């Protein structure tokens, strides 16, 4: 018996549902692909805006979803550049590029890069950034092509299928129709399959929490990848995630009872009252594995200002590698000789010559055994909103050792009760420490809050508080030992910090440096010496020195500008020690 009218109607209904499903799928997918605004209802009294193109965040103090109110003081954002924890409270309606006073909570990607999705857990609002598809064919095009493909099948079936199936029962006809529907279902999944087989780059996001002594590590999909009682094991499990990773820590004390080896592209972010009890020293370390065990001699002198260096061989070197250039020119200090050197990146290789990314600071000569050493630099390591607690002053405790790293960010952290060092930069470039607090970092002979060692360059230290019993809060020093030896620090900016109760120099450079310091807008209280520089140049401006034994002490050689500072109640304000110094527009009150 042929297909009757009732069966044809059922057939048409199924085809109609199939078409509607495809249409709805495409329609719902377009906003996330196109970067259209997505609105989420809340209590309507406050607004939120996040822009995918910049790290620019404005957020209300709290948001209400249903009957629950979520405090956003420690809100996290997952975005292409990692977690964002800064925010600006809004009063009243949202204020942004567009009026969102009626939008409630608004998630928008102005740059069309993707979609923010709200994930509310443990009374925190996490915003997960979902990128657009990175398959070979753009996701919207894939949807459109499959939509047209399915429509074509349906049209072909409408024209020819009824003739082929006219003598079949409805049940038999379904044997042909159901595979068609299944093929359509696969069509709906295809764009996601392309994303699976064309994985997106970027960072992985991992959350670590601790409850009743059990530490749990979850990935961004909510899967538990580690659970146990050893805190260091949990952190190492998170670091084992392939590629870059952002590790978010929930409230709690985490015992660092052995040194944890860092890697590139990693961010440690504390949500609220996260404490690292640093039982081991150092608690975190990159290690020195990036340093080549061999060196390559220069075959010609390299002069200050040169960007091309002639080597005896370029074997093992590639564009993008970093090298440390050094020779036997040295500065004696405390019965040791420390050799000069600097870091540079190779941007071109031609024959036996390398071209570096900037002019050389100094001369390096064949007569002084000039050489280069390749360093495979780590990159992009950050710590944020974490308290580091050592095992006491006058001990060998250190929080973090960085060897050969570019782009370090340490922000809104606290370091207390360390003896040797809190943070050590060794042959590091482009490093920033901001918004941190340092307390009780002290040991005779060391006791450095921030130690800047050997061929560091472009170090920024700003908006920090250095309090309670420090020896040298910031020190530029030199070190020796195997492959890490040689090199002088160059540019260091110290701005808008507070220094109190320093037993020696709050900011100090040993003669084993060639630093150019900018010291501006800082406050120094009750320090033995506020600033002491040797073999360095500096601009010291708009600082306040109060009740210091010596405000500024400068030792030759060096060129210095001391301008616009306020000296109050100091025993001696400025000691120039035969340096080339310009002193002007400073104010003195009860100071020698």
* Paired tokens of 452: 């800047």
pLDDT band for position 124 (cuts 50, 70, 90): very low
Sheet with 353-356: list strands edge to edge: 296-297, 371-375, 322-333, 336-350, 353-356, 308-310
- pLDDT in the model for residue 95: 31
Q: What percent of the chain has pLDDT over 90?
A: 53
d(CA 414, CA 581): 36
Q: Which residues of 302-340 are buried (b: 16+ CB within 10 A; e: fewer)?
A: beeebeebbbeebeebeeebbbbbbbebbbebeeeebbb
pLDDT band for position 126 (cuts 50, 70, 90): very low
- pLDDT in the model for residue 282: 96
**The pLDDT of residue 42 is above 90:** no
**The pLDDT of residue 515 is above 50:** yes
Give yes or no for a contact between 198 and 237, defined as CB atoms under 8 angstroms apart. no
**The pLDDT of residue 456 is above 60:** yes
Residue pointed to by tokens 């050792």: 401
**The pLDDT of residue 310 is above 90:** yes
- pLDDT in the model for residue 122: 34
Residue 53 vs residue 182, higher pLDDT: 182
d(CA 241, CA 258): 20
Residue 444 vs residue 60, higher pLDDT: 444
Instruction: Tell me which DSSP letter residue 302 carries.
Output: B
Q: Is 5 exposed, middle or buried (0-12, 13-18, 19+ CB in 10 A)?
A: exposed
SS (H, E, C) 530-582: EEEEECCEEEEECCEEECCCEEEEEECCCEEEEECCEEECCCEEEECCCCEEE
The arithmetic mean of pLDDT across residues 382-390, rounded, is: 96
Residue pointed to by tokens 């495809």: 22
- pLDDT in the model for residue 170: 58
- pLDDT in the model for residue 10: 53
d(CA 374, CA 378): 13
The arithmetic mean of pLDDT across residues 146-167, rounded, is: 56
pLDDT band for position 127 (cuts 50, 70, 90): very low
- pLDDT in the model for residue 66: 39
The arithmetic mean of pLDDT across residues 65-72, rounded, is: 40
Spatial CA neighbour of 441 closest among 464, 470, 466, 414: 470
Residue 82 vs residue 180, higher pLDDT: 180
Lowest mean pLDDT segment, chosen from 9-13, 313-317, 369-373, 461-465 = 9-13
The arithmetic mean of pLDDT across residues 221-232, rounded, is: 91
The arithmetic mean of pLDDT across residues 269-297, rounded, is: 94
**The pLDDT of residue 283 is above 70:** yes
Residue 479 vs residue 295, higher pLDDT: 295
**The pLDDT of residue 155 is above 50:** yes
Q: What phi and psi values does residue 196 have, to the nearest 5 degrees?
A: -65, -45
**The pLDDT of residue 77 is above 50:** no
The set of residues, in sequence order, having a beta carbon less than 8 Å from that of 79 and lying 6+ positions away, is 50, 52, 55, 127, 129
- pLDDT in the model for residue 71: 42
- pLDDT in the model for residue 158: 55
d(CA 153, CA 141): 18
The arithmetic mean of pLDDT across residues 269-287, rounded, is: 94
Give yes or no for a contact between 203 and 246, defined as CB atoms under 8 angstroms apart. yes
- pLDDT in the model for residue 11: 56
* Paired tokens of 118: 């709200």
Residue 58 vs residue 259, higher pLDDT: 259
From the CB of residue 222, how many other CB atoms can be counted at a distance below 10 Å? Answer: 9
Residue 427 vs residue 195, higher pLDDT: 427
d(CA 422, CA 432): 14
Residue 14 vs residue 508, higher pLDDT: 508
d(CA 75, CA 62): 10
Taking every pair of Cα atoms in the chain, the longest distance, rounded to a whole number of angstroms, is 115
d(CA 453, CA 478): 5
**The pLDDT of residue 218 is above 80:** yes
**The pLDDT of residue 43 is above 50:** no
Lowest mean pLDDT segment, chosen from 235-239, 499-503, 513-517, 583-587 = 513-517
What is the residue-averaged pLDDT of the chain? Answer: 76
Lowest mean pLDDT segment, chosen from 151-155, 332-336, 383-387 = 151-155
* Paired tokens of 391: 């095992």
* Paired tokens of 378: 């780590």
**The pLDDT of residue 321 is above 90:** yes
Instruction: Write the pLDDT tens digit of every residue in 347-366.
Output: 999 999 999 999 999 999 99
d(CA 267, CA 391): 24
- pLDDT in the model for residue 344: 96
Instruction: Tell me which DSSP letter residue 483 carries.
Output: G
pLDDT band for position 555 (cuts 50, 70, 90): confident
CA distances from 469 to 127, 395, 396, 472 (A): 41, 14, 16, 10
Residue 478 vs residue 475, higher pLDDT: 475
**The pLDDT of residue 89 is above 50:** no
The set of residues, in sequence order, having a beta carbon less than 8 Å from that of 222 and lying 6+ positions away, is none
Lowest mean pLDDT segment, chosen from 6-20, 36-50, 240-254, 377-391 = 36-50
**The pLDDT of residue 72 is above 90:** no
**Computed over its alpha carbons, how large is the radius of gyration of the chain?**
31
């Amino acid at each position: 018996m042929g297909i009757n009218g009732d069966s044809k109607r059922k057939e048409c209904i199924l085809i109609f549902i199939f078409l509607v499903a495809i249409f709805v799928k495409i329609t719902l997918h377009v906003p996330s692909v196109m970067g259209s605004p997505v609105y989420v209802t809340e209590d309507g009294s406050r607004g939120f805006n996040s822009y995918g193109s910049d790290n620019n965040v404005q957020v209300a103090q709290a948001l209400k979803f249903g009957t629950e109110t979520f405090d956003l003081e420690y809100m996290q954002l997952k975005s292409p550049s990692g977690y964002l924890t800064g925010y600006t409270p809004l009063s009243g309606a949202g204020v942004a590029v567009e009026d969102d006073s009626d939008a409630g909570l608004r998630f928008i990607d102005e740059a069309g890069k993707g979609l923010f999705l709200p994930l509310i857990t443990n009374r925190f609002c996490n915003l997960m950034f979902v990128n657009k598809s990175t398959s070979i064919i753009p996701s919207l095009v894939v949807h459109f092509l499959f939509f047209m493909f399915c429509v074509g099948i349906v049209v072909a079936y409408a024209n020819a299928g009824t003739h082929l199936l006219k003598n079949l029962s409805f049940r038999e006809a379904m044997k042909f129709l159901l595979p068609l529907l299944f093929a359509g279902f696969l069509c709906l999944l295809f764009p996601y399959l392309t994303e699976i087989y064309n994985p997106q780059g970027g960072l992985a996001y991992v959350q670590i929490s601790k409850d009743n002594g059990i530490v749990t590590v979850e990935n961004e999909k909510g899967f538990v990848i580690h659970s146990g009682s050893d805190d260091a094991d949990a952190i190492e499990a998170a670091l084992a995630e392939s590629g870059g990773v952002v590790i978010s820590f929930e409230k709690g004390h985490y015992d660092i009872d052995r040194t944890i080896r860092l890697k590139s592209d990693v961010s440690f972010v504390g949500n609220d009252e996260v404490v690292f009890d640093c039982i081991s020293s150092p608690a975190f370390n990159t290690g020195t594995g990036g340093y080549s065990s061999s060196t390559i001699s220069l075959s010609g002198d390299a002069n200050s200002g040169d960007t091309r260096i002639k080597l005896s061989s370029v074997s093992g070197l590639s564009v993008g590698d970093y090298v440390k250039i050094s020779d036997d020119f040295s500065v004696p200090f405390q019965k040791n000789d420390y050799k000069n050197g600097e870091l540079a990146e190779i941007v071109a290789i031609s024959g036996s010559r390398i071209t570096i990314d900037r002019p050389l600071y100094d001369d390096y000569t064949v007569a002084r055994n000039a050489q280069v050493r390749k360093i495979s630099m780590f990159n992009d390591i950050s710590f944020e909103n974490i308290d580091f607690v050592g095992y006491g002053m006058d001990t060998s405790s250190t929080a973090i050792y960085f060897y050969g790293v570019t782009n370090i960010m340490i922000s809104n952290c606290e370091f207390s009760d360390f003896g040797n060092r809190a943070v050590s930069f060794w042959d590091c470039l482009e490093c920033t420490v901001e918004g941190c607090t340092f307390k009780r970092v002290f040991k005779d002979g060391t006791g450095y809050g921030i130690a800047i060692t050997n061929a560091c360059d472009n170090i920024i230290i700003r908006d920090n508080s250095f309090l309670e019993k420090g020896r040298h809060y910031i020190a530029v020093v030199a070190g020796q030992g195997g492959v890490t030896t040689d090199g002088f620090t160059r540019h260091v900016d110290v701005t808008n910090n507070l220094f109190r109760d320093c037993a020696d120099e709050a900011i100090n450079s040993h003669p084993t440096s060639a630093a150019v310091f900018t010291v501006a807008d800082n406050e120094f209280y009750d320090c033995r010496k506020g600033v002491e520089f040797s073999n360095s140049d500096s601009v010291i401006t708009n600082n306040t020195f109060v009740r210091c034994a010596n405000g500024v002490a400068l030792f030759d050689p060096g060129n210095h500008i001391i301008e616009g500072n306020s000296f109050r109640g100091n025993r001696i304000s400025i000691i120039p020690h035969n340096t080339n110094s310009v002193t002007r527009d400073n104010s003195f009150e009860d100071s020698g």
